[in-house]
Amino acid sequence: MRFKKNIAAFVAVLFAQIVYAERSITIQSPDQNIQLGIMHRDNGDVIYRVLYKGKTVIAPSGLGFKLNVPALSLVKFNLLSADSSATDENWKPVWGEQSVIRNNYKQLVLQLADHSGSGIKLNIVFRVFNDGVGFRYEFPQQEKLNHFVVGEELTQFAMAGDHKAFWIPGDFDTNEYGYYTTSLTAIDATGGGKAQEIHAKTFFDKNATQTPLMMKSADGLYINIHEAALVNYPALNLVMDKSSLIFNAHLVPDATGNKAYLQTPAKTPWRTIIVSNKAGNILTSRLILNLNEPSVIKDESWIKPQKFVGVWWEMHVGKSSWDYSGSQVGSQQATKVPHGANTANVKRYIDFAAKHGFQGVLVEGWNTGWEDWFGQWKEDVFDFVTPYPDFDVKELSAYAKEKGVKIIMHHETSASVTNYERWMDTAYRFMNNNGYNSVKTGYVGRIIPRGEHHDGQWMVRHYERVAKKTSDYKIMVDMHESVRLTGLHRTYPNWIASEAARGNEFNAWSVGNMPDHETILPFTRIMGGPMDYTPGIFKIKMSYYNAEKKEQVHTTLAKQLALYVTMYSPLQMAADLPENYEAKPDALQFIKDVAVDWDETRVPDAEPGDYIIMARKAKGSPNWFLGAITDENARNLVSSLDFLDAGKKYVATIYRDADNADWSTNPEAYVIEKFLVDSKTLLKLKLAPGGGTAVSLMPASTAELKSVKKYK
Ligand code: NOJ
Ligand code: CA
């Protein structure tokens, strides 16, 4: 029997730690901390479980499918073979949180056949890394299965305890929720219904959450569940069965309730389980990227991490409007305001960008259609090539070129996606002809074709098509209201960021983002890839713009600076208005200095929902940047600087909360100090409620060695 022979060879040649008992296989991570166990029961069930240093991460959990066409429950199997291999390699991302990534895992491929005798075959591929486990289903090309329709994926994740969880409600259309922190048995996603500020949401089950889902067990394990390489398949939601503590997969349906239309050979995305006894190791895991395919783009020289400003926040705070009529579509305000994307105003932003070294200027509301944008579920709202009469495309392109700045295109599709698909080539040619090399897309509203969802298979295919097509035109893309990321930016590095979570913008016009929000996002949404969070707000209270407004950013100014380090993205916006930056040039200096592409990333300390300290080394530079943030609680933290070159002195420029700062009562009070530090320094961080500290660390010049005082 092939199975036995392979396993024998497997044990003898590859890893001594693999044990074959009767239909039970154990495979360990290269460092032996993680154990994946597979059981094939007499009744045909195939069960998996995961241990970390002997503690249960995933208790015995089921695998399989319900197919709608052919109608078949694919949950009992004959085990045909089990093949193993090991991989250990390094690769270099085009941009990222570190310049070299190690991909080191043990792999097990199970070949299974349907137990009921249909003749249908299914493989399950497991990879066990030092930081977790990934597995995916593969339907090989086969006689008995060609075109087929998935009714549900029956993957389970059984939890070993009533863990603390950081979750957002399961939803087919939006991920722009604030986070809930509860035990698993206290998950109640009906609360999602309260989020009135989200325009298109589709609630389906009060026990449902989205991934990436972050958990902490009572015995100190940090567990993250998500998916990698979401291609041609719907996104995953997890529904908690509170009696058994089992999460059941719930894929996003299409308009008819089907989940996925596939043809053999077909592969599902990887299901990922990242685990550690240190929270920081979750943040430095590259497992999701490692499970994605290498870049398909041959010449990557045109892909450039960058910082940008934009005619954007002024619309969100109600100073100007996207629509030409000035009626602030979507804002429920009656007062008329100027149209933001006018030639003179755009020039002002270009001047500001050129003066301060920002590479891009985003301009929203430049094209006709915004009068019809919001809430209409209407076709053909935008054409992506017709400017409003006060936006001079040629003049602005020439002006930007002369100033060495790129205008960032904006394509709000209003979720009329069939329409966008019709316009894509024309729109990207228009961009090529006018010197634009990046586009921010957006999908506000309910999807057309009607009945499809933002996170279903149809849209997942659309986002990938956009990534591919923009790359054909050498265009970088930043998608808002897209499906959450799953590491596909490894394959399409021109897909430089997404929003796909609740961004800073919610602070301008809604109840906003609670002070713990940014301490959770890196453990959840950003696990899948970079987020266009749009940090850098200096004017914290919206009453500055309109005395009646109660809205505000729920952080201090110093925390806004720290977010450039803690919220990873190769595309970072300096989101506030030029005049607000020019009023505080000393604080602006950090945003000008901070890098967006990195050689190394360290997490001196972190706890999801509480605080994060992160340090990163700028790519190809000796400079380091450190960001520390806290939730609503003031904190005194200490960070080691042991990542600095030993024996070398650095100037630490510390941008911190003033002693009396507080996100709600005194958010804009900050202090900037300079000290000489080295790798032995223990940096004391005093964070205000909702506060943060940002630090730049640059090698000291001879003059600075004399003039800058030593850190005590
Ligand atoms: C929502 C996006 O997140 C935001 O950045 C954009 O300004 C508006 N839609 C308008 O497209
Ligand atoms: Ca959004």
pLDDT digits (tens, 9 = 90+) for 99-141: 999 999 999 999 999 999 999 999 999 999 999 999 999 999 9
Query: Taking the alpha carbons of 194, 197, 203, 205 in that order, is the dihedral positive or negative?
Result: negative
Q: What is the per-residue pLDDT for 10?
A: 41
pLDDT band for 375, please (50, 70, 90 cuts): confident
User: 656 vs 525, 572, 574, 669, CA distance in Å?
Assistant: 26, 21, 18, 9
Residue 243 has pLDDT above 80, yes or no: yes
Ligand nearest to the CA of 408: 1
Query: Closest Cα to atom 10, ligand 1: which residue?
Result: 412
Residue 1 has pLDDT above 70, yes or no: no
Of the candidates 176, 412, 499, 505, the residue annotated as catalytic is: 505
pLDDT tens readout for residues 664-691: 999 999 999 999 999 999 999 999 999 9
Residue 335 has pLDDT above 70, yes or no: yes
Residue 19 has pLDDT above 50, yes or no: no
Residue 442 has pLDDT above 70, yes or no: yes
Query: Closest Cα to atom 11, ligand 1: which residue?
Result: 412
Pocket of ligand 1 contains residue 442 by CB under 6 Å: yes
Residue 22 has pLDDT above 70, yes or no: no
| Most ligand 1 atoms within 8 A of CB, residue of 454, 505, 532 to mutate | 505
If we measure between CA atoms, which residue out of 318, 371, 378, 379 comes closest to residue 551?
318
Distance 199 CA to ligand 2 centre (A): 10
The mean pLDDT of 69-93, rounded to a whole number, is: 97
- Residues lining ion ligand 2 (Cβ < 5 A) are 480
pLDDT tens readout for residues 140-194: 999 999 999 999 999 999 999 999 999 999 999 999 999 999 999 999 999 777 7
Residue 4 has pLDDT above 80, yes or no: no
Bridge partners, residue 126, by sequence: 108, 135
Q: What is the per-residue pLDDT for 48?
A: 98
Q: Mean pLDDT for the chain?
A: 95
Residue 505 annotated in active site: yes
pLDDT band for 332, please (50, 70, 90 cuts): low
Q: What is the per-residue pLDDT for 92?
A: 98
Residue 47 has pLDDT above 90, yes or no: yes
Strands (E) across 33-100 are located at: 34-40, 46-52, 55-62, 65-69, 72-74, 77-91
pLDDT tens readout for residues 576-589: 999 999 999 999 99
| Most ligand 1 atoms within 8 A of CB, residue of 413, 480, 498, 534 to mutate | 480
Distance 449 CA to ligand 1 centre (A): 21
Distance 281 CA to ligand 1 centre (A): 33
If we measure between CA atoms, which residue out of 281, 291, 273, 268 comes closest to residue 133?
273
Alpha helices in 27-153 (DSSP H): none
CB of 354 closer than 8 Å to CB of 403:
yes
Distance 441 CA to ligand 1 centre (A): 9
pLDDT tens readout for residues 351-374: 999 999 999 999 999 999 999 998
State which ligand 1 atom lies nearest to the alpha carbon of 412.
11
Q: What is the per-residue pLDDT for 279?
A: 98
Pocket of ligand 1 contains residue 305 by CB under 6 Å: no
Longest dimension (CA), the chain: 81
Q: What is the per-residue pLDDT for 171?
A: 97
